[in-house]
Amino acid sequence: MSLLFSRFAKGMSKMLGHPLAFGIAVLIVIVWAISGPLFQFSNTWQLVINTGTTIITFLMVFLIQNSQNRDSEAMQVKLDELIRAVKGADNSLLNTENVTEEELQHMQEHYANLAQVAQKRLEQGKSGRSQKTEAKKERQKVR
């Protein structure tokens, strides 16, 4: 079932994200607006567009969320592989999507401090090697 929905969501996202789909939606709204005088702008006439757009919006929320989840997971796997593959990278970062808000905040502060140190070194004209050495010392302090 999951595979079937995933294929369906991927296909629908591709199709509905196409400019032609937008053009068709605009055309539907124009036809609806033009038909207003024919139906004397009745409540039923208004209900048709309101109901249609509500149903479409409701369904699109799930398709969009599925696409975002899939994209986020793929991006996370790619980032994890980059962290794992880079020599000297901090492998403890591989699971940051599962840490608490407090732990994440601590990590953000740590890397902001590393960025400040690197910026100061850069302003002082130090070489990239000095920055790497300083960054490595900063990482060791946190552990």
pTM assigned to the model:
0.62
Confidence (pLDDT) at 47: 96
Q: Per-domain residue ranges for the chain?
A: 1-98, 100-143
- The answer to whether 74 and 6 are in contact (CB under 8 A) is no
Residues in CB range of 39: below 8 A, 6 or more apart: 45
Confidence (pLDDT) at 109: 92
What's the pLDDT tens digit per position in 87-101? 888 888 888 888 889
Distance CA 138, CA 114 (A): 7
Mean of pLDDT over the chain: 87
Confidence (pLDDT) at 94: 82
What's the count of helices (H) and strands (E) in the chain, helices before strands? Answer: 5, 0
Does 126 have pLDDT greater than 70?
Answer: no
Does 23 have pLDDT greater than 80?
Answer: yes
**Average pLDDT, stretch 79-90?**
88
Tokens matching residue 92: 């403890």
Residues in CB range of 139: below 8 A, 6 or more apart: 90, 110, 114
What's the pLDDT tens digit per position in 49-72? 999 999 999 999 999 999 999 999
68: DSSP letter? H
Tokens matching residue 115: 């960025």
